[in-house]
Amino acid sequence: EDQVTQSPEALRLQEGESSSLNCSYTVSGLRGLFWYRQDPGKGPEFLFTLYSAGEEKEKERLKATLTKKESFLHITAPKPEDSATYLCAVQGGSNDYKLSFGAGTTVTVRA
């Protein structure tokens, strides 16, 4: 069964203080790794899809990278509006429908 572990559980940052979130995964044949952002009481917002080791994607202050065992979400010079829970999910093997989610990392950025 696919497993996803995210660390840390919570991250408190000062505005402008760059940091990284980790997503470690165990999957039989990665088909895709997905990053989502979720604000309290709202649905997850899609950020990135990564398919193979070495792949990188960027969007504003966020950059996602992928290795064979983990993915990192780098937040560069964060702003208070980057405060949210960031969810990592994988789809693997012969599964063509199910996303296995990690528990998420809650990021709080103080002004």
Partner 1 sequence: DTEVTQTPKHLVMGMTNKKSLKCEQHMGHRAMYWYKQKAKKPPELMFVYSYEKLSINESVPSRFSPECPNSSLLNLHLHALQPEDSALYLCASSPILGVNEQFFGPGTRLTVL
Contact 6, 104 (CB under 8 A): yes
Say how many CA atoms lie within 13 Å of 91 toward its Cβ: 13
Q: Which is nearer to partner 1, 17 or 63 (CB)?
A: 63
Of 13 and 33, which has the nearer Cβ to partner 1? 33
47 dihedral zone (left: phi>0; alpha: psi -120 to 50; beta): alpha
Q: Which of 1, 54, 81, 97 is close enough to bind partner 1 by CB under 8 A?
A: 97
6-45 binders of partner 1 (CB under 8 A): 31-32, 34, 36, 41-45
- Residue 93 found at the interface with partner 1 (CB under 8 A): no
State which of positions 48-87 bind partner 1 (CB under 8 A): 49, 51, 87
In eight-state DSSP terms, residue 72 is E
